[in-house]
A = this chain, B = another copy of it.
Amino acid sequence: MSSTKDIDNLIEMMAKLPGLGPRSARRAVLHLIRKRGLLLTPLADVMQTVAATARECLNCGNVGTSDICDLCDSEKRANGQLCVVEDVADLWAMERSNVFKGRYHVLGGTLSALDSIGPNELRIPKLIDRITTEGITEVILALNATIDGQTTAHYIADNLAGVTVTSLAQGVPIGGELDYLDDGTISAALTARKSL
């Protein structure tokens, strides 16, 4: 390679990011170098700040810059509803939809016998704690509709007592065309049909 060591290094590290490979990393790095004043320096600064301050919320597992995240800190959010998600990305997706007004609990994965991930690896004890300490009345399971996700949902539902447990509805997505949907979704949507 013709570029010098630091640049090669930067390309190699960028290529490790999910969604980027060697070719797109090279493109991104060239773009960054061309706009080093406007983009590379500020990006490096923000990365340094985030590296120094980012941490997991001790309560819910969300990513933020303080020990207790904004969501857990906000009194407005204490409406008795707790939404359980697998991952911080799922929490962010829920927040973008802007419908849910309660608090979250990030499991950090799903139960998996193969990977020997049990309830204690998953922040499930903390979830059971929070039910009582935060006076939760409804737990909404927003886990992915995969086998692991649903196994985890069943396990959690079986282990929570004295609280309503609900889960996201399954059915035809908005804008979905029946012809392109899998059989499982169609059968779930038919079973859960609503009268208009």
Chain copies in the assembled complex = 2
Complex CA–CA separation, A139 to B119 (angstroms)? 67
Complex contact B64–A7 (CB within 8 A):
yes
Query: Would you give the 0/1 interface string for A156-175, flagging 1 where the beta carbon is closer than 8 Å to chain B?
Result: 00000000000000000000
A31 within 8 A of B: yes
A19 within 8 A of B: yes
Complex CA–CA separation, A32 to B47 (angstroms)? 9
Complex CA–CA separation, A104 to B71 (angstroms)? 55
Chain A 121-164 residues near chain B, CB threshold 8 A = none
Checking B31, B50, B66, B95 against A10 with a beta-carbon cut-off of 8 angstroms, the contacting residue is B50
Complex contact A92–B19 (CB within 8 A):
no
A120 within 8 A of B: no
Interface stretch among A34-42, A110-118, A182-190? A34-42
Query: Would you give the 0/1 interface string for A3-37, flagging 1 where the beta carbon is closer than 8 Å to chain B?
Result: 11111011001101111100010111111110010
Complex contact B31–A41 (CB within 8 A):
no
A43 within 8 A of B: yes
A46 within 8 A of B: yes
A107 within 8 A of B: no
Q: How far is the CB of A5 from chain B (nearest CB, A)?
A: 8
Complex contact B33–A28 (CB within 8 A):
no
Complex contact B24–A18 (CB within 8 A):
yes
Tell me which residues across on chain B come within 8 A of A63, comparing CB atoms: 3, 7, 30, 33
Complex CA–CA separation, A31 to B10 (angstroms)? 17
Complex contact A92–B47 (CB within 8 A):
no
